[in-house]
Structure 1
Amino acid sequence: MATAGVLALALTGTSGGAAAPRPQIALTFDDLRAHGPLPAGGDRAAIAAEIIAALATHHAPAFGFLNGGFGAGDPASPKVLAAWHAARLPIGNHTFSHLNLETVGAAAFLADAKRNEGPLAAAAGAQDWRWFRYPFLSEGSDPAARDTVRAALRREGYRIAAVTMSFGDYAWNDAYARCVGKRDEAAIGALETSYLAAARAQALRSRALAQRALGRDIPYVLLMHLGAFDARMLPRLLTLYETMGFGFTALPSAETDPFYAAARDLSLPGPSPTLEAAARAKGLPIPVNAALPAATICA
């Protein structure tokens, strides 16, 4: 169990001596080109533009993950990838249809990932796109299926974009679309407050887990989505992280940390590393996650 002083360091990043290096966050955005319901009057290209502008203002690198089947019927969808590419933001593979390995099995899963490579290569151009993000972060409960997928991804030169920080932002995108439809400004204000509170709580949770399980900070990889409420909130979210003492780094740089070795090198045993697994391996308790917005909000 961490001492009070160590836990204080984990939560604040300061000590009585020399200032500790700033902990880093690598931002990643799943479900390009189209995540979640589109609020009334919304536009996918405008969502992407708002997110890209906030990243530029805060000098925050980001990595996107494409589902080639998402947004296929939306005329704004090509503009999303064009804007992402113009901003020189890299993009990786999130499968074509966002399939869950647990439910479809290795063969169907790998076929769907392969299907995504055509639109992915076209969108990425000369950039390195051989980074893979499992839909639902699910690597399957069947070791044989998990190892089959890892071996296939390794043969294709992939690395895994492991996740070590998340606050369930997708749930706010759903709730926001409902509240916009009902023109419920009070509920939208409450969503803004709860979104930032959850992001703060989960950042503290990740740091505490890392300090207890590893004795140090790691570069944290944050899972987000290219959704409408994320676009609305990203300037405030990035400011929050900065006031908490975080800096921003790129996914490939973050995952050079030894903690992510099994995500970079798929010849190593899986699954991909998580802070929760590292804590369980030491018999440490796992803190509860921050609450998501209730499904009844603006329902």
Structure 2
Amino acid sequence: MDDHRAPAHGLRHRRSRLAGFAALGLAGAPATHGAARSRRAPGIAITIDDFDLSNAMLMSGQDRDAAIRATLKRHKIKAAGFVAGKYIDDRLSLPMLSAWSNHGHMLGNHSFSHRYFSGENPDGLMADIARCEQLLSSGPGFRKLFRFPGLAEGNDAAGCDRMRALLKQHGYANAYVTIDTSDWYIDNRLKARLKADPRASVVAYKRFYLDHIWGACFYDGVAQSLFGHSIDHTILLHHRLTLFLDDLLAMFRARGWRLIDAHAAFASSPFALEPDTLPAGQSLLWSLARADGRFGTPLRYPGEDGDYEAPKMDAAGL
């Protein structure tokens, strides 16, 4: 399912990416503080959403999943997968999820229905989470981490607070994203091109994808401004563009980032924070920056979306 963000509901935040952070410098630039922690290169953990095996592109869903796991093994890292229950079937998905667990990867909950959460009916969302948990809880890789579909955590304080209370009551932690992306939109455009011309080259799409992901790493500059140092990040990807996953991980290594296991990122201190902002959600760093109040210029809302990438892809003929 496409990870479309909800409409802005009148909010006036579709401006520059984070104009208030323009002075932070290049994305991913190392911190220059004196402490050893400040000089530590940023870490990046791979987190993959949805697990829709029907969404094949140049390969079957099974082959795509095998390629993901093979790439992670080659780079010696353990990822986290966030499963939307509606995509799970006994024939394909359950053996695949077992393979994830057996190879040491984490599996978290992405709800059964993958519906946008506006803040209304948090008890209904909790029931939907419990329904998905039934599909996952028997595997050794399952962890009580919940990722909100579309990173939408509610538009009103009462609904947001109730949802947070319910998650804690049921033993769940929020599986925050720190580096948000619109990889799903790039995939949609590439699929449309391949449907029209199965022999079309994917090279330009790979270049655009890698540039898009690296551009999203401006969030590490936000982390440096908020905390005084780089952090261990979780990046939002989807079970789609695995043609380019090896290139993506190689890019991070080449640019000095550390590839880390997902459990290490989720155990780091920023992931225990609960930003106080409405609408709640988006990248954890987006929310913390908005709640901080020091930066002045409003952040665009949503933080990332296909609407921002469409004109760039149109201009590039993609």
Q: Name the TM-score class by shorter chain.
A: 0.7 to 0.9
Report if the CA contact (8 A) 1:23-1:217 is conserved.
Answer: yes
Partner of 2:73: 56
Report if the CA contact (8 A) 1:48-1:83 is conserved.
Answer: no
1:46 aligns with 2:57: no
1:277 aligns with 2:287: yes
- Cα displacement string for residues 116-163 of structure 1 (whole angstroms, at most 9, x for unaligned residues): 1110113xx233421111111111112111121211111111111111
Partner of 2:153: 139
Deviation at 1:187, TM superposition (A): 5.6
Q: 2:265 aligns with which of 237, 242, 254?
A: 254
**Separation of aligned partners in 2, 1:16 and 1:153:** 37
Unaligned runs of 5+ in 2: 1-19
**Separation of aligned partners in 1, 2:102 and 2:317:** 36
1:240 aligns with 2:279: no
Deviation at 1:12, TM superposition (A): 2.9
Task: Identify which range, 125-134 or 46-55, moves more after superposition.
Answer: 125-134
**Separation of aligned partners in 2, 1:47 and 1:197:** 22
Report if the CA contact (8 A) 2:106-2:142 is conserved.
Answer: yes
Q: Quick one: percent identity of the two aligned structures?
A: 25
Q: 2:44 aligns with which of 12, 18, 25?
A: 25
Task: Identify which range, 42-51 or 232-241, moves more after superposition.
Answer: 42-51
- Name the CA shift for 1:81/1:258 in 2 (closer, same or farther; >3 Å): closer
SS at match of 1:29: strand
1:98 aligns with 2:108: no
Root mean square deviation of aligned Cα: 3.2
**Separation of aligned partners in 2, 1:167 and 1:185:** 27
**Separation of aligned partners in 2, 1:241 and 1:183:** 31
**Separation of aligned partners in 1, 2:250 and 2:258:** 10
Partner of 2:205: 191
- Name the CA shift for 1:15/1:206 in 2 (closer, same or farther; >3 Å): same
SS at match of 1:13: coil
**Separation of aligned partners in 2, 1:185 and 1:218:** 41
Partner of 2:238: 225
1:156 aligns with 2:166: no
Unaligned runs of 5+ in 1: none
Q: 1:118 aligns with which of 121, 128, 134?
A: 134
1:174 aligns with 2:188: yes
For these two proteins, the number of residue pairs brought into alignment is 285
Equivalent AA in structure 1 for residue 45 of structure 2: A
Equivalent AA in structure 2 for residue 277 of structure 1: S
SS at match of 2:50: strand
Deviation at 1:71, TM superposition (A): 4.6
Deviation at 1:179, TM superposition (A): 2.0
Report if the CA contact (8 A) 2:119-2:160 is conserved.
Answer: no
**Separation of aligned partners in 1, 2:94 and 2:235:** 25
**Separation of aligned partners in 1, 2:213 and 2:28:** 14
- Cα displacement string for residues 213-236 of structure 1 (whole angstroms, at most 9, x for unaligned residues): 322111111111111xx2100000
Partner of 2:226: 213
- Cα displacement string for residues 81-122 of structure 1 (whole angstroms, at most 9, x for unaligned residues): 233223221101110110221176212211111111110113
Report if the CA contact (8 A) 1:44-1:80 is conserved.
Answer: no
Report if the CA contact (8 A) 1:49-1:83 is conserved.
Answer: no
Task: Identify which range, 285-294 or 97-106, moves more after superposition.
Answer: 285-294
**Separation of aligned partners in 2, 1:276 and 1:87:** 32
Report if the CA contact (8 A) 1:187-1:298 is conserved.
Answer: no
After TM superposition, the score normalised by the length of structure 1 is 0.82
1:83 aligns with 2:102: no
- Name the CA shift for 1:97/1:138 in 2 (closer, same or farther; >3 Å): same
SS at match of 1:12: coil
Equivalent AA in structure 1 for residue 231 of structure 2: I
After TM superposition, the score normalised by the length of structure 2 is 0.78
SS at match of 1:144: helix
Equivalent AA in structure 2 for residue 26 of structure 1: A
Task: Identify which range, 83-92 or 182-191, moves more after superposition.
Answer: 182-191
**Separation of aligned partners in 1, 2:158 and 2:119:** 14
**Separation of aligned partners in 2, 1:3 and 1:77:** 44
Report if the CA contact (8 A) 1:178-1:298 is conserved.
Answer: no
Deviation at 1:292, TM superposition (A): 2.4
- Cα displacement string for residues 39-98 of structure 1 (whole angstroms, at most 9, x for unaligned residues): 3x631111111111111111122000111111538x433342233223221101110110
- Name the CA shift for 1:109/1:2 in 2 (closer, same or farther; >3 Å): closer
Equivalent AA in structure 2 for residue 85 of structure 1: S
